[in-house]
Each structure stands twice: as C-alpha cells, then as structure tokens.
Amino acid sequence: EPKFAIGDRVVINASVPRHHHRRPRYTMGRTGEIVMYHGAHVFPDTTGNGQGETAEHLYTVRFTQAELFGSAYADPNACQHTDMWEPYITRAQS
C-alpha cells in the first residue's frame, strides 16, 4: 500500500547518497504536495546499483518556486512538478 495520498504535504530527504539515485538536488530538504500517484514501478536506485529489481511507489510532487529557489527569485504564480519515489519522501510536520 502507498504511504501517501494526493494532497499530503511531504519533505524530500536531504541526505546525499553515494550511489545512483533520481532525486534532484534542488528538491532535497524542500516541502511540497503530492498531486499524482503513479502506482508501484521498478525502483531505479536498486536496479542501477546491482541490487536487483524492487518495486516502489511513485508520486508527482508539486513545489512552489519560492520553496525551491527563494522568494526573491520566485514567480509567485509558478510551480515545479517532480516525480519522486516513496523512499525519498517523508510526511511534513503540521
């Protein structure tokens, strides 16, 4: 079962792994909102590191530009959507 649902606020894990990953550095430590759920798929982190095929849940997370780049540089009407694997995210504190 997926841990997150559409509308959940989440934080992207900020640890920097030594191995293959698909987590954009500019999203690490940032807070966003789940806007789509794509089901479970082969997780490239384990496959790309020779650990075999494992399945993980995949989501699209929406970030405001202010959250990613700071309010001085952000268009207040723009956002960024990024696909994130479940192991990269945790629930945001209320």
Measured CA to CA, the distance from residue 88 to residue 59 in angstroms comes to 10
**23 band by pLDDT with thresholds 50, 70 and 90:** confident
pLDDT at position 51 is 66
Chain segment 64-83, per-residue pLDDT in tens: 999 998 888 889 889 999 99
Whether residue 84 is predicted with pLDDT greater than 90 in this model: the reply is: yes
pLDDT at 18 exceeding the cut of 90: no
Rounded to the nearest 5°, which phi and psi values hold at 81?
Answer: -110, 130
pLDDT > 70 in the chain, percent: 87
Give the three-class secondary structure for 66.
helix
Question: Is 89 in contact with 81 (CB distance < 8 Å)?
Answer: no
